[in-house]
Chain A
Amino acid sequence: MDYGRPDLADRLAADYALGTLRGPARHRFEVLLPAHPRLRQATLIWQERLMPLSAALTPVPPSPAVWRRIEERLDGTARRASTDRPQRLAFWRGLAGFASIAALTLAVLVAVPREGPPPVIVVLAATGENAGGAATPSIVASISGDGRALVARPIVPVATRPDRSLELWAIPPGGKPRSLGVMPGAGGTMALPAKVLAGTDTLAVTLEAPGGSPSGAPTSPPLYVGKFTL
C-alpha cells in the first residue's frame, strides 16, 4: 500500500484516531507511523480534531493508590537506571563507552524477535562545522538483519530546531539518496520499505522542513554521516 497517497493516509489516520482501526491493522499502522511523515501529520490533525470531544466526559478521580503505584514504578526505574541528574553530565562525557552500550542495547533490542542475519550497527558522525573535533559519534543506528526496520538513537543532543525535522537517508555509492523517513526526535524504530537499503552503503541525516523534504530529495548538506556494509 502506498501510504504517501493523501486520501489513504487521511482515511487510515481518521480510523486510527477514532479507534475503529483495530487488530493487526492498528498495530501495523503504529509501526509505520514514525517513518511516514504524511501519515503522522494526518494522525496528529485527526487527533487534534477528535480528542477535544472527550471534554464532554465527566471526570472520574482515580483512587489515591494509583499515584502511589506510579511513584513506586518511577522510583524503581530511577534506581535501576542510576542516571540521576548530577551524574548525567559525566555520563554524557563518557561518550565512547556509551556508544558501545547503546549499540549493544540496540543490538539486543533488534535481535530479540529475529531469525536470520544479525543486525548491522551504523555509527553516524557529525560533519563539517557540527563536528566537535575528530569524527564525534552522534547517532547510532541499528538496521535489522532483514533490512525492514531501523532503530536510530542520538547519543549526543543532536543539532535541530523546533521548526525543522531530521530526515534519514540511505545513499548508494554515486547514487541518489533515498528517504527512510523522519527521525523521531528522541530516536526510535522506523519501519523501512522493502529493498530500500539494497545497494546503499551510507546513512545520512539532513535538516529538512517539518515532516521531511517535500520534494523527496535532501535540500541541505548532511549533518551526520555513517558508512555500513549490509
Chain B
Amino acid sequence: MVKNVSEWTERSRELSGLLARSGLGDRAAFATLYQRTSAHLLAVVMRINRDKAQAEDILQEVFVNVWRAAKSFDAAQSQPLTWLTSIARNRAIDSLRRLQTQPQFQTHAAPSGSDREDESVYDTVADAAPGPLDLLTQASAARSLGLCMEELSALQRQSVALAFFQGLSHAEIAAQLRQPLGTVKSWVRRALLTLRSCLDGSLQRDGSRAD
C-alpha cells in the first residue's frame, strides 16, 4: 500500500514506463501494469460502488479504456497512478448515475428485516472496512496533515470524506448528516480549500526533503 506522496510518485515513475509501452501496443507491459494497479483500482471503485461483481465489470471497462488511451497519456501532465485512479473513480461515479434508474440494487445490500430508513447502505455493507472519516484521518496522518486538518470541524471533515471515499453527492451527504444542502455545500468547499492549503504545504515540505 502506498502511504505517502513520495511513494505515490515512486510507484508512478515505474508505472510511467509500463504505460508508455502499453501505448505502443506492448501487451506484456500492460499485463504488468494490471498486476501492479488492479487491486488498488478495485478498492477505489468498491468504495463507490460496493457490489463486487459490478465493481469488477467497471474495473474491466477501466482497463480496456486504459489500453486504448495509453498512447494519449501525458507523463508531463499527470502521474500515472493519479491518472488511473481518476479514470477508475470517474467510471465508478458514472455507474452510480446509471444505477439511479435501477433502485433494486441497494436493496440486496441491506439485511432483510431491516427497514430503518436512516440505515444507509455503507453502514450495513461497511462490515470491517474503515469508515470514510477513518480513511481521511489515515490519509492525513500519512501525509502529516493531521494538525493542519484540525482547523476543520468533524462534520466538515466528514462531508469531504463521504464525498471522496464513498462517492456521495452533496445531496446524499446532506441526507446522511441530516443537514441542509447549502450548509453541506459550504462545508465541502471549506474542507477542500483547507485540504488544498494543507496539501500544498505538505508538497512543499516533501519537495524540500527530496532536494
The answer to whether A18 touches B139, judged by C-beta atoms less than 8 angstroms apart, is no
The answer to whether B59 touches A74, judged by C-beta atoms less than 8 angstroms apart, is no
By a CB distance below 8 angstroms, the chain A residues around B42 are 59-62
Known: A48-B82, A49-B199, A70-B34. A63 touches B56 (CB 8 A): yes
Q: What per-residue 1/0 map shows which CB atoms of A1-38 lie under 8 Å from chain B?
A: 00000000001001001111011001000000000000
Judge whether A129 is part of the interface by a CB distance below 8 angstroms. Answer: no
Chain B interface mostly helix, strand, loop or mixed? helix
Known: A19-B93, A54-B44. A47 touches B139 (CB 8 A): no
Q: Within the assembled complex, what's the spacing in Å between the Cα atoms of A199 and B59? A: 46
The answer to whether B192 touches A60, judged by C-beta atoms less than 8 angstroms apart, is no
Q: Within the assembled complex, what's the spacing in Å between the Cα atoms of A65 and B64? A: 14
The answer to whether A22 touches B169, judged by C-beta atoms less than 8 angstroms apart, is yes
The answer to whether A60 touches B39, judged by C-beta atoms less than 8 angstroms apart, is yes
Give the size of the chain B interface in residues (CB under 8 angstroms).
65
Q: What per-residue 1/0 map shows which CB atoms of B143-184 lie under 8 Å from chain A?
A: 100000000000000001001110111100100000000000
By a CB distance below 8 angstroms, the chain A residues around B82 are 47-48, 51-52
Q: Within the assembled complex, what's the spacing in Å between the Cα atoms of A44 and B79? A: 10
By a CB distance below 8 angstroms, the chain B residues around A74 are 27, 64, 67
Find A48's partner among B46, B78, B93 (CB 8 Å cutoff): B78
The answer to whether A55 touches B39, judged by C-beta atoms less than 8 angstroms apart, is no
**Interface segment out of the listed B1-9, B109-117, B118-126:** B1-9
Find B85's partner among A51, A61, A66 (CB 8 Å cutoff): A51
B28 CB, nearest partner CB in chain A, Å: 12
Judge whether A56 is part of the interface by a CB distance below 8 angstroms. Answer: yes
Question: What 7 pairs across the A-B complex have the smallest Cβ distances?
Answer: A59-B39, A55-B2, A56-B139, A186-B72, A57-B43, A53-B139, A56-B138
**B residues with CB within 8 A of A:** 1-5, 7-8, 25, 27, 31, 34, 38-40, 42-44, 46-48, 56, 59-60, 63-64, 67, 69, 71-72, 74, 76-79, 81-83, 85-86, 89, 93, 97, 129, 135-136, 138-139, 142-143, 160, 163-165, 167-170, 173, 188-189, 192, 195-196, 199-200
Query: Could you give 14 example pairs across A and B, Cβ below 8 Å?
Result: A19-B167, A20-B163, A20-B173, A48-B82, A51-B82, A52-B82, A52-B139, A53-B139, A54-B85, A56-B1, A61-B39, A62-B38, A62-B39, A162-B76
